[in-house]
């Protein structure tokens, strides 16, 4: 029986180590891509739910300072005024609501629990436990929804213009997003509305 020499054993171990390193590297890339794909799917699901909400209520849910969707029952929730599509009554309704918790709350008609939810559970970022989160901005006329893609510029939907806004998707700067209609993602809603108003005035 021929035994391996010391150099041959070292060579085999080096090859096995390289295989393990490459396998681990490829696995990490695969898991990262899977999480980014989930983020894109989550954002699409939330956008579709917001569109349905707007069709029923006549406006989009407002946003909290920390980027949550204000559409869940607050501690002071009471009788909903009739015809909340009227702007004068809408404020009273909104004051009874709180920001929905990602991954825990549903997006639904808070005045009718029998009505099918727009989203049974509002998704949360796949790495929420590590501090990542989705970020929602709305003035009730339109909205922007942002996420952080781990793959950066290698991932579909990455937008450098979003990074320049320095919006915080948890502990990372957002680099991906979706918005209502033609609403841009690279500027604030206030800037966008100013541009629209200016364009209308020039017509």
- pLDDT of amino acid 79: 74
DSSP character for 154?
G
Query: Mean pLDDT over all residues of the chain?
Result: 90
- pLDDT of amino acid 36: 96
Cα 74 to Cα 76: distance, rounded to the nearest angstrom = 5
- pLDDT of amino acid 93: 86
Q: Answer yes or no: is pLDDT of 199 > 90.
A: no
- pLDDT of amino acid 128: 98
- pLDDT of amino acid 176: 98
- pLDDT of amino acid 90: 82
Q: Answer yes or no: is pLDDT of 1 > 60.
A: no
Q: Answer yes or no: is pLDDT of 97 > 90.
A: yes
- pLDDT of amino acid 28: 79
Report the predicted TM-score, pTM, of the whole model to 2 decimal places: 0.84
* Residue of 8 and 62 predicted with greater confidence: 62
Q: Give the list of residues 6+ apart from residue 80 with CB closer than 8 angstroms, or none.
A: 93, 96, 110, 111
Q: What is the largest CA-CA distance in the chain?
A: 93
In which band, very low, low, confident or very high, does the pLDDT at 196 lie, cut at 50, 70 and 90?
Answer: confident
Task: For residues 129-154, give the mean pLDDT.
Answer: 96
* Residue 146 backbone dihedrals phi, psi, to 5 degrees: -120, 155
In which band, very low, low, confident or very high, does the pLDDT at 129 lie, cut at 50, 70 and 90?
Answer: very high
Q: Write down the domain spans for the chain.
A: 35-202
């Amino acid at each position: 029986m021929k035994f391996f020499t010391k150099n041959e054993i070292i060579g085999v171990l080096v090859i096995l180590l390289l295989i393990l390193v490459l396998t681990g590297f490829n696995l990490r890339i695969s898991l990262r891509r899977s999480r980014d794909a989930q983020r894109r799917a989550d954002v699409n699901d939330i956008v579709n739910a917001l569109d349905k909400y707007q069709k029923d209520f006549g406006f989009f849910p407002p946003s909290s300072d920390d980027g949550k969707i204000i559409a869940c029952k607050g501690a002071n929730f009471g009788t909903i005024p009739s015809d909340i599509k009227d702007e004068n009554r809408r404020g009273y309704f909104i004051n009874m609501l709180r920001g929905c918790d990602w991954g825990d709350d549903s997006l639904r008609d808070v005045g009718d629990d029998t009505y099918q939810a727009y989203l049974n559970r509002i998704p949360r970022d796949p790495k929420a436990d590590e501090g990542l989160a989705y970020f929602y901005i709305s003035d009730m006329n339109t909205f922007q929804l942002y996420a952080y893609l781990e793959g950066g510029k290698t991932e579909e939907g990455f937008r450098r213009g979003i990074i320049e806004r320095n919006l915080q998707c948890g502990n990372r700067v957002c680099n991906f997003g979706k918005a209502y209609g033609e609403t841009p993602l690279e500027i604030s809603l206030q800037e966008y509305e100013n541009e629209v108003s200016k364009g209308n005035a020039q017509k």
